[in-house]
Amino acid sequence: MPAMPEELGEGATVGAECIMGLVTIIITNCPHARTANEWLWGKIWRKVKYNFDMRRSITPRFIADCITTTIVTYLGVGMVLDAFSGVGGQTASLLAAGLTVYACDIDAANVEHTKHNASAHGVGVLERLFIRCGDYFKRVAKLAARWLKEGTKFAAIHFDMPWGQEYNSNTYCLDKMGDGTMSAFNVLNVAASLADSFIVKCPKNVLIADVMKLADYLHGVKGLTGEAQMPLVEVFMSGDKTHMAVIYMGDIAVKRLADVPPAARVRDLTGTALTLEECASSMRAQAKGVGCAKVQFQARA
């Protein structure tokens, strides 16, 4: 049983190199225990295609639609980048809601499957899909260089990087994604100038302090001064089971947070290293749907 945030005392002594920040967590209840296996295409699964090794990576339908609804509600029906688009679990949801989607994946079969799967969801959606096969770092860096000159931006960028073996660790290191060499910080760095709203799908064993560290890093690489805006984490649960989390940063977090009722009080988590799952489980045990935690972290160089 994870420690309840209010049992954690006053927190550790904070060294000069540490920064404090606040993170808000909301819990969203999934309709079924098997939500993680329920993909976007639901009853039309016979029409869709994916390679067997992608079956655990596809964004579940309920979660994909929650992300899409948040984008549409707070940013409107604009142009979104779905980075690391896989076989299109999120892309298909965004297209079905009327958004224009740029997408990128390194795997040629996944790209073909995304086109096919998106088209299974509606006539004409492919006219709003601009998908390329290639390495995210090369393709998006090239796009960022061009769009910076033009002043063009996406309404939002959705990132669903591969989680890799690191998912089996007790706590997930955001510098060891995919094959162990992909860093979420580097991923955000490349795309920082391309939007003001960022959405990162992440494992439940990410430390809550690392969410703030990521938001602080993004704030810095965007050249913004002062304190980083508070990130919002949406944790998806079925009963006591935690599926995964989605981190909202930038404008979309600010806008959605304005609609979230404030937490009863801020929990001091500066003295401990809790994962998102542990935070959410504690909240669930207290029947709380919204929590706010004070965390400490060392700024990313």
Ligand X SMILES: C[S@@+](CC[C@H](N)C(=O)[O-])C[C@H]1O[C@@H](n2cnc3c(N)ncnc32)[C@H](O)[C@@H]1O
Selected range binding ligand X among 28-36, 105-113, 223-231, 260-268, rule: CB under 6 A:
105-113
C-alpha span between 245 and 234 (Å, rounded): 6
Rounded (10°) CA dihedral 205, 207, 210, 211: 70
Give the contact letters, 117-156, x = binds to ligand X (CB under 6 A), - = no.
Answer: ------------------xx--------------------
Phi then psi dihedrals of residue 137, to 5 deg: -65, -40
User: Which residue from 35, 68, 70, 110 is in contact with ligand X, where contact means CB under 6 A?
Assistant: 110
Q: Is 60 in the site for ligand X (CB under 6 A)?
A: no
User: Is the distance from CB of 5 to CB of 274 less than 8 angstroms?
Assistant: yes
Q: Which is nearer to ligand X, 5 or 89 (CB)?
A: 89
Is 30 in a helix, a strand, or coil?
A: coil
Phi then psi dihedrals of residue 269, to 5 deg: -110, 20
User: Is the distance from CB of 35 to CB of 62 less than 8 angstroms?
Assistant: yes
User: Is the distance from CB of 34 to CB of 64 less than 8 angstroms?
Assistant: no
Q: Is 245 in the site for ligand X (CB under 6 A)?
A: no
C-alpha span between 205 and 42 (Å, rounded): 28
Query: Shortest gap between Cβ of 117 and ligand X (angstroms)?
Result: 8
User: Is the distance from CB of 213 to CB of 267 less than 8 angstroms?
Assistant: no
Q: According to CB under 6 A, which residues from 68 to 87 bind ligand X?
A: 84-87
Q: Is 59 in the site for ligand X (CB under 6 A)?
A: yes
Which segments of 35-145 are extended strands (E)?
79-83, 100-105, 129-133
Selected range binding ligand X among 20-28, 98-106, 122-130, 204-212, rule: CB under 6 A:
98-106
User: Which residue from 89, 203, 231, 250 is in contact with ligand X, where contact means CB under 6 A?
Assistant: 89
Q: Is 88 in the site for ligand X (CB under 6 A)?
A: yes
Give the contact letters, 174-213, x = binds to ligand X (CB under 6 A), - = no.
Answer: ----x-----------------------------------
Residue ranges that bind ligand X, judged by CB under 6 A:
57-59, 84-90, 104-107, 110, 135-136, 160, 162, 178
